[in-house]
C-alpha cells in the first residue's frame, strides 16, 4: 500500500524519498539527517519506529534541524497518546501529525489525517472522503463512545473485486462481506469518539476476552510505556479452566531483572489505570518477538504458538525461528 502511496506522490510534482533498509542503521538519527539534508516536508514512518526512538532515547530536534517538516505521518499499528506528545516535543511543536489506518486490501485509508481540524492525542482525526466508515456492535448497529468493529457501509473504487483462485468468491465473501451482509468488515477493533475521531485498539482477531470482556491489546501497551526497560511486548491469551487468561511476553532492555516486584508493578499499573480484567496472569520475558517482514509484531503467531495451533504463513515472518520459544513455553 505504501509503495502505491509513495509513487502517486509523483503526480503532485513532489520529490519522493524512500529509505531501503533498517531505519536505525547505522544509528537512530539516519532518517532525520536525510530529512535535514533534503529539506523533506512530509516524514512518514511506523508507530513502532517512533516508539523505538522514544525508548532509545533519541530526540531528533536535538541533533538536526527539523523545521522543514510540516507533516509527520504514522501507520502500521496504533499510535499511542504518549507518542503523540513525544513527536510534538521531539520533532517540532508546529507539525500536522497524521496517524492513518487502512489496508493493503483497499490500497487506501478508512481513517486518516485532516489538516483542517485539530489533532487529538491518541485519535485518528477523520474518516476518508467518500467512505461511510462506522463502528458497529455485534448486531451491526452503529455505536459511538464504545468499542466495536470497524466497517465501511458503502463501496469504494479501490476495494478488490475478488481473490485469485477463488472462482465462486466464497473466500472473498467470507473474508469481508458475510459478517455484516452488504457491509465491508475490516477486522479492526475501534471506537468512534464524540468529536468524530477514531481510536484503533488493534485487530479484532487478536482482541482479548478474559471473563467475556473484550480488550484491545493497545490498551495494555499504552500502560507499558511507563516501563522504559520494556522494548517491545505482545499481549495474547491462552485458554485455561474454561476462560481466557492474558499472557504478556516482553522483550527487555539488556540487564533488566524481571523479578517478582517488577512483575507486581506492571500488574498494579494495569489494575489501577485499566481494570482487573487487563491484568495478565503471566508476565514472561522473551529474547525476541515475531515480526512480519514490514516490522509489525505478530500477536496471532504468538497466540497460535502457545496454544499448539498451526502458525499459518510463517514465511511472512522476518524471524520465524523465535517461535520455538513460544511453542515450548508452559505456564
Helix, strand, coil shares of the chain, percent, nearest 5, are 30, 25, 45
144's CB contacts (< 8 A; 6+ apart) are: 135, 191, 192, 193, 194
Residue 243 has pLDDT above 90, yes or no: no
pLDDT of 294 over the 80 cut: no
Dist. CA 32–CA 204, nearest whole Å: 34
Query: Which pLDDT band, with edges at 50, 70 and 90, does 305 fall under?
Result: very high
Give yes or no on whether 126-202 and 207-328 have one common fold. Answer: no
- State residue 211's pLDDT score: 80
**Using an 8 Å Cβ cutoff, are 118 and 84 in contact?**
no
Evaluate if residue 312 carries a pLDDT over 80: no
Specify the pLDDT at position 70: 97
Per-residue pLDDT of 148-171, as tens digits, reads 999 999 989 889 999 999 999 999
Q: Where are the domains of the chain?
A: 2-99, 126-202, 207-328
The pLDDT-based confidence of 5 (bands split at 50, 70, 90) is confident
**Interval 6-29 mean pLDDT:** 91
In the chain, pLDDT over 90 holds for what percent of residues?
72
Fold of 207-328: GMP Synthetase; Chain A, domain 3 (3.30.300)
Write the pLDDT tens digit of every residue in 167-196: 999 999 999 999 999 999 999 999 999 989
Helix (H) or strand (E) holding 87: helix 81-90
pLDDT value, residue 190: 94
Looking at every residue in the chain, the average pLDDT score rounds to 92
pLDDT tens digits, one per residue of 133-147: 999 999 999 999 999
| Share of residues in the chain with pLDDT > 70 (%) | 100
Tell me if the domain spanning 2-99 has CATH number 3.40.50.980. Answer: yes
pLDDT 10s digits, 77-124: 889 899 999 999 999 999 999 999 988 889 999 999 999 999 999 999
Peptide bond connecting 57 to the previous residue in cis, omega within 30 degrees of 0: yes
How many C-beta atoms lie closer than 10 Å to residue 177's C-beta?
14
Long-range contacts (CB closer than 8 Å, 24 or more residues apart) made by 183-188: 183/136, 183/140, 183/151, 183/152, 183/153, 184/151, 184/152, 184/153, 184/155, 184/159, 185/149, 185/151, 186/103, 186/110, 186/149, 186/150, 186/151, 186/152, 187/149, 187/150, 188/101, 188/149, 188/150
The reported pLDDT for the residue numbered 284 is 96
Q: What pLDDT sits at residue 229?
A: 94
Per-residue confidence (pLDDT) for residue 240, from 0 to 100: 81
Task: Examine the pLDDT at 244 and tell me if it is beyond 90.
Answer: no
Q: What is the pLDDT of residues 196-239, one digit of tens each?
A: 999 998 888 778 888 878 888 989 999 999 999 999 999 999 98
For domain 126-202, which architecture applies?
Answer: Roll (2.30)
Amino acid at each position: 500500500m505504501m509503495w502505491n502511496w509513495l509513487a502517486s506522490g509523483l503526480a503532485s510534482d513532489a520529490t519522493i524519498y524512500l529509505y531501503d533498509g533498517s531505519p536505525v542503521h547505522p544509528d537512530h538519527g539516519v532518517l532525520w539527517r536525510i530529512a535535514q539534508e533534503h529539506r523533506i516536508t512530509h516524514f512518514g514512518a511506523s508507530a513502532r519506529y517512533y516508539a523505538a526512538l522514544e525508548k532509545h532515547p533519541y530526540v531528533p530536534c536535538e541533533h538536526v534541524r527539523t523545521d522543514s517538516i510540516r507533516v509527520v505521518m504514522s501507520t502500521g499499528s496504533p499510535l499511542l497518546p504518549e507518542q503523540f506528545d513525544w513527536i510534538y516535543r521531539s520533532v517540532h511543536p508546529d507539525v500536522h501529525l497524521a496517524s492513518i489506518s487502512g489496508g493493503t486490501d483497499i490500497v487506501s485509508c478508512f481513517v486518516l489525517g485532516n489538516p483542517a481540524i485539530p489533532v487529538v492525542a491518541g485519535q485518528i482525526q477523520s474518516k476518508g472522503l467518500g467512505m461511510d466508515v462506522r463502528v458497529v456492535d455485534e448486531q451491526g448497529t452503529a455505536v459511538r463512545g464504545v468499542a466495536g468493529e470497524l466497517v465501511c457501509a458503502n463501496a469504494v473504487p479501490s476495494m478488490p473485486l475478488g481473490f485469485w483462485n477463488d472462482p465462486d468468491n466464497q473466500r472473498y465473501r467470507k473474508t469481508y462481506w458475510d459478517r455484516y451482509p452488504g457491509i465491508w468488515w475490516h477486522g479492526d477493533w475501534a471506537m468512534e469518539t464524540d468529536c468524530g475521531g477514531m481510536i484503533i485498539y488493534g485487530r479484532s482477531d487478536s482482541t482479548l476476552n478474559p471473563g467475556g470482556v473484550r480488550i484491545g491489546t493497545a490498551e495494555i501497551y499504552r500502560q507499558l510505556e511507563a516501563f522504559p526497560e520494556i522494548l517491545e511486548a505482545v499481549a495474547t491469551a491462552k485458554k485455561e479452566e474454561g476462560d481466557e487468561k492474558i499472557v504478556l511476553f516482553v522483550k527487555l532492555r539488556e540487564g533488566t531483572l524481571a523479578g517478582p516486584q517488577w512483575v507486581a508493578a506492571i500488574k498494579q499499573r494495569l489494575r489501577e489505570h485499566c481494570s482487573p480484567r487487563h491484568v495478565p496472569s503471566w508476565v514472561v520475558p522473551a529474547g525476541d518477538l515475531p515480526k512480519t517482514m514490514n516490522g509489525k509484531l505478530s500477536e496471532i503467531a504468538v497466540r497460535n504458538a502457545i496454544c499448539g495451533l498451526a502458525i499459518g504463513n510463517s514465511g511472512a515472518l522476518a524471524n520465524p525461528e523465535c517461535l520455538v520459544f513460544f511453542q515450548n513455553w508452559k505456564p
